[in-house]
Structure 1
Amino acid sequence: MQVLGLYCTPALCVFVILSWIAAKNTIWLNRDMPDSAHGAFFAIAAALAGSSAFQFALEFTSEFWDWEDERTSVAQLQLELELSEERRILEARRLTPSPVERQASYKERTPVEVERLRKESRHYRRVHLWMQWLLFVCSASVTAITAWYDPPQPGKGALIFLGFTITVITAATGYFKPRERAFNLQQTADSIEQHVTALDLGISPYAQTDSANLELFATTVENIRIEQRKREQQLDQPHQGQQEVV
């Protein structure tokens, strides 16, 4: 955002000034330009100019950017980063817990994953419902306007807009498939939650020892997540590609 503002604000300021000149020479060529139009262009140009000056002052003022390593070379920083990464890996190997502890930690993180899947499912379900309602309203509006205006010349613009909207919504629904995505996410979340409940209650298939149950649980949940990713990939592919994958 900082880089975008640094480059775009001066360009917008120049564009406003050129628009000011163009408006004077085209719309108000043979008469005086209203003071309100002058004031609007001047206010916008002044605001953009002030914003540009402020951003440049912050960017090139050394007192504002007080870096602790400003005199360190990039090569030295890269070397320190690589050494820090090596130390992190060695420390992680030394403190790596046992498989049973990692599996227990994985089980504790599962509810967060279930909540994330449900949240994404609700998001796609809302998107699908909004698309369907908009499609219903536009389709009904086309019929109503066509029946109301005969000949349809006064409502021609509205019919063109509604037809364009219906085409875009239909294409977006068929391409992004929000309903299928919501169903897959909800199904995955329900399946993982079912296994979490079975593990907590100690019922089949988790009626063994704790270590065996945790290993089976981690394996099952990972397989469910892999199947979810495969279904997402199938939705992202064209129809012919989906048949080949299946």
Structure 2
Amino acid sequence: MQNSTTSHPGGNTTDELIQYRRDVTDYRRRIRNRRLQVLGLYVTPVLLILSIFSCVAAKNVFWLGKNMPGAVEFAFFLTFVFLAASTALQFAVEFSKAFWKWEDKGTSVAKLRLDLELAEERRILEARRLTPSAVERQASYKERTPVEVERLRKESRYYRRVHFWMQWMLFFCSAGVTAVTAWYDPPQPGKGVLIALGFTITVITGAAGYFKPRERAFNLQQTADSIEQHVTALDLGIAPYVQGEALNLELFATTVESMRIEQRKREQQLDQPHQGQQEVI
């Protein structure tokens, strides 16, 4: 048993670091859930009171001295019953021991935030103590690269599809404008269709010019192809990865990170207005 532990120290280190990340993620999830619970405890009674006042105000403003329509009364009644039941259930779960107990019952969000900060601090301190060597981290980085390539390709395919459908909608709408104009002369019967088609063309053209799906797809595909080229070169041991393993991994990590930074810069340029892009370039 002792030999097995000493021969696989990296496995224990990995498990410990993974557990610290799980603890941090779990605290973040608990904070989100607790915020929703507290929000429900405060908001539901307020909505219940507002629904009562709304019913009274509607009666006095619209149906003073008359009977309120049955559909309106039924809608107010259902709203009141739902909010009252929700309020009673939440208060019972929160403050009574006889009901089902939800996670972090009675715990403040501030305490959970403090626990999260402490968990993150422990993770950072233990990561410094348990972090493997640079060569091992670079080798792990290389193994994660195919996932990054697949993510880039997936986003590129998404933007290509968006651009494809935008272009086809523009084609059909433009052809529809011409067809409706030629069919109706004068165009009064088809005026509504022409307005709808013109509106659609304007929206699609503006969206395509603002979001630039074609440029985004091209940049993502280009970055994915470049990273994949370097992965293949590293696996085959061809230029520029013709040195020792440690130097090759260091060069690979540096090159790929530079590509990712350049990709983020291109995305930021696409997010800026046209004038801002010219100033950045």
Q: Which residue of 2 aligns with 1:93?
A: 128
The answer to whether the aligner puts 1:122 opposite 2:157 as a matched pair is yes
Q: CA contact under 8 A between 2:45 and 2:87: conserved in structure 1?
A: no
Of 80, 87, 91 in structure 2, the residue corresponding to residue 56 of structure 1 is 87
Q: CA contact under 8 A between 1:9 and 1:51: conserved in structure 2?
A: no
Written as runs of structure 1 = structure 2, the 5 A alignment for 1:28-107 is 47-61=78-92, 62-63=95-96, 64-68=100-104, 70=106, 74=110, 79-107=114-142
SS in 1 for 2:127: helix
How far, CA to CA, are the matches of 1:90 and 1:205 in structure 2?
Answer: 36
Cα gap change, 1:149 to 1:38, in 2 (>3 Å): farther
Q: CA contact under 8 A between 2:173 and 2:197: conserved in structure 1?
A: yes
Q: CA contact under 8 A between 1:135 and 1:166: conserved in structure 2?
A: yes
Alpha-carbon offset, residue 134 of structure 1: 1.0
Q: Which residue of 1 aligns with 2:28?
A: none
CA-based RMSD of the aligned residues comes to 3.5
SS in 1 for 2:239: coil
User: TM-score normalized by structure 1?
Assistant: 0.79
The answer to whether the aligner puts 1:177 opposite 2:185 as a matched pair is no
Q: CA contact under 8 A between 1:9 and 1:48: conserved in structure 2?
A: no
The answer to whether the aligner puts 1:150 opposite 2:185 as a matched pair is yes
Q: CA contact under 8 A between 1:124 and 1:179: conserved in structure 2?
A: yes
Structure 2 residue identity aligned to 1:117: L
Q: Which residue of 2 aligns with 1:33?
A: none
Q: Which residue of 2 aligns with 1:166?
A: 201
How far, CA to CA, are the matches of 2:161 and 2:75 in structure 1?
Answer: 39
Q: Percent identity?
A: 67
Cα gap change, 1:45 to 1:233, in 2 (>3 Å): same
Cα gap change, 1:82 to 1:9, in 2 (>3 Å): closer
Structure 1 residue identity aligned to 2:221: Q
Could you list the runs of 5+ residues in structure 2 that have no partner in the other structure? 1-35, 64-68
Structure 2 residue identity aligned to 1:138: C
How far, CA to CA, are the matches of 1:154 and 1:13 in structure 2?
Answer: 46
Cα gap change, 1:143 to 1:48, in 2 (>3 Å): farther
Structure 1 residues 183-242: Cα deviation after superposition (integer angstroms, max 9, x where no partner): 100111111111111111111111111111100100010111111111111111122221
Of 270, 273, 280 in structure 2, the residue corresponding to residue 235 of structure 1 is 270
Q: CA contact under 8 A between 1:12 and 1:48: conserved in structure 2?
A: no
Q: CA contact under 8 A between 1:117 and 1:189: conserved in structure 2?
A: yes
Could you list the runs of 5+ residues in structure 1 that have no partner in the other structure? 26-36
User: TM-score normalized by structure 2?
Assistant: 0.70
How far, CA to CA, are the matches of 1:51 and 1:110 in structure 2?
Answer: 51
The answer to whether the aligner puts 1:137 opposite 2:172 as a matched pair is yes
Structure 1 residue identity aligned to 2:86: Q
Aligned length: 234
